[in-house]
Every structure is written in C-alpha cells, then in structure tokens.
Structure 1
Amino acid sequence: MIEEKAGYYFENGFHCAEAVAAAVLEELGEDSSSAVAHATAFGGGFGRTFDEACGAISGSLIVIGHFYGRCEPGKGWDVPATLAATIRQTFLDHFGTSHCATLRERFGEEMQPEKCCSIVKQVAADLVELLAKTSADVEESCCRKEGRIKKMQL
C-alpha cells in the first residue's frame, strides 16, 4: 500500500520530498533514484529552512513532472500545471496550509516526526489517486513514450 511505503521511507531516513517521490514512483513501477536526488534540496520547506512549501508537495511536483513534464521549449504545460494546482488544493483541504514552519509549529516539537509522516502518507496516497484519474484521460509527456502510468492498476 502506498501509505505504508511512503511512511517506511520517511521513517527510515528520507525526508518528506524524497519519501513521496520514491514511494509514488516505485508504486507506479518506475525507478525512483534520480527523482529522489532531485527531491533532496526540497526537504524541510526548501533546504531545511522551513520557510516555504512542505516538501511533500515538492516531491509530488517532481513526480508530476516525471510523467507529464515537457522536454521541448514552447510545448504546452497545461496538464502538469493543472495537476500541480490540484495536489496543492488537496493538500490545503487536508491541512489548511502548505507552509512548512506553520505545520511544524502546529504539531509541536514532540509530535513533529509523527505528524510529518502522516502528511507524507496522505500526500502520496492523494497523488497516486490523482495520477490514476488523470492517466485515463491524458497522454504522458513527449519525453515518455512507454505509457507506464496508463498500465497502472489500482
């Protein structure tokens, strides 16, 4: 189950952005190693500053780009923009803010690891659900000819 995989990664050394990217890509049959590397600087609200968006959202955006990102200048990017806006709004609906420091303050120091892990699990599940809905209606990026996400079975 995606929540368990995301939680496992978070509890075993990946931060929020890395855990979401790794778990979701692996759940969808993809190699996650380069995406985890891309996600590394996004943890802790961008570089552990806690001043920006929760890394779980950043990890989601990396996954969206993996499947629907463009590889040529001038190509449209309506699909990834819509997916990014949707995952952001879903996050806000669940948690009320995407600001890392605000979330951490709300949790308190003692509960922060547990609560951040629950966010990672929720975002990973939400992203898999969003991608499953999207894959039936939209072609993947021009960079990705395999169509792997379309074969996903949930």
Structure 2
Amino acid sequence: MTLTRADDAAAIFTEGYSCSQAVCAAFAEDFGIDRDTALRLSCGLGGGMAHTGNTCGAVTGALMVIGMKYGRTAVDDLAAKEKTYAVANEFISEFLRRNHSVSCTDLIGHNLSDPKELAIARKDNLFHTKCPRFVRDAGEILEKIL
C-alpha cells in the first residue's frame, strides 16, 4: 500500500506535532526542505497561529507548501506571485467547501485566545478528535492541486 502525503501529515500530527507542522513537514522534502527545518518554520502557526484561534494551522501549513512550490524568489517575478495566490485560493476554496471555515475558532468551536476556552478544548480532547480531519483534508487537497 502506497502512503500518500495526506497519510504522512496525519501520522506526523499523531506523533504530537501541530496541524501546521504536520502539513508543512509532510511535503517539505519534495521541495528541498528538510523535516526539521519545516517543523521549525511552521511551529508558531498551530492553534490558529500560536493559539490565537485565527487561521487553522492545517491551512497555514498548506499555504507554506504552496509557497515552497510556486513562490517567487525574485521581486519582479509577478507571474510566480500570481500563480502562488491562484493556487492558494484554490486550496482555500476547497478547504472551505469541505469544512465551512478556515478559522481555528470556528472549526474547533472555542476561542483559543481565551485561556479558559483553550483549557476546555484541551479537556474535551478536541485537538485529537477534530484536527486530524483538517490535517488530512489539507494533505488531500494539496495532493490534488499541486
């Protein structure tokens, strides 16, 4: 059985890494980025960017992957910038279709910037019951659009 990048992302998440780290690290080596570097770069994005409940880490990790593939490295390479934005928008549209939001607060159902609500989300094991689906969705969408 061939493992997919979505499987890799899910496995990395299960190891205990954040959603952003799982998605970013699962694809990084395809673009010449080692796993440790990918884990470091994406570390602050979990929990909707450092537990602020903003954009879901699976989404921000995916946007990093899209940037690794299409992102511009020359300031005047507007075609690369536009391609990156187009693919990012395609990703976001499909993630929204599947999950109805890209907001961690909406997806988890708690405002993670509030320590009491973060504690409830942890107590209710929401990061382990809800987030695996978002990580897998991000991986599947990336596999399709890259």
**Percent identity over paired residues:** 28
Counterpart-to-counterpart distance in 1, 2:77 and 2:69: 15
Q: Hey, what does 1:19 align to over in structure 2?
A: 22
Q: TM-score, normalised by structure 2?
A: 0.79
Q: Hey, what does 1:120 align to over in structure 2?
A: 135
| 1:56 maps to 2:71 | no
Q: Report the alpha carbon displacement of residue 105 of structure 1 after superposing the two structures with TM.
A: 1.1
Q: Report the alpha carbon displacement of residue 79 of structure 1 after superposing the two structures with TM.
A: 0.6
Unaligned runs of 5+ in 1: 132-154
Q: Report the alpha carbon displacement of residue 124 of structure 1 after superposing the two structures with TM.
A: 0.7
8 Å CA contact 1:54–1:98 kept in 2: the answer is yes
Q: Hey, what does 2:46 align to over in structure 1?
A: 43
Unaligned runs of 5+ in 2: 111-120
Structure 1 outlier segments of 4+, above 6 Å: none
8 Å CA contact 2:62–2:142 kept in 1: the answer is yes
Q: What is the DSSP-based 3-state SS (H/G/I as helix, E as strand, rest coil) of the residue aligned with 1:14?
A: coil
Q: Report the alpha carbon displacement of residue 112 of structure 1 after superposing the two structures with TM.
A: 3.6
Q: TM-score, normalised by structure 1?
A: 0.76
For 1:19, the aligned partner's letter is A
For 2:109, the aligned partner's letter is E
For 2:132, the aligned partner's letter is C
Q: What is the DSSP-based 3-state SS (H/G/I as helix, E as strand, rest coil) of the residue aligned with 1:113?
A: helix
| 1:129 maps to 2:144 | yes
Q: What is the DSSP-based 3-state SS (H/G/I as helix, E as strand, rest coil) of the residue aligned with 1:74?
A: coil
Counterpart-to-counterpart distance in 1, 2:127 and 2:49: 17
| 1:81 maps to 2:89 | no
Q: Hey, what does 2:102 align to over in structure 1?
A: 98
Counterpart-to-counterpart distance in 1, 2:135 and 2:38: 16
User: What value does the CA root-mean-square deviation take over the aligned residues?
Assistant: 1.8
Report matched runs for 1:134-145 at 5 Å. Answer: none
| Higher share in helix | 2
Q: Report the alpha carbon displacement of residue 11 of structure 1 after superposing the two structures with TM.
A: 1.1
Closer/same/farther in 2, CA of residues 112 and 34 from structure 1, 3 Å limit: closer
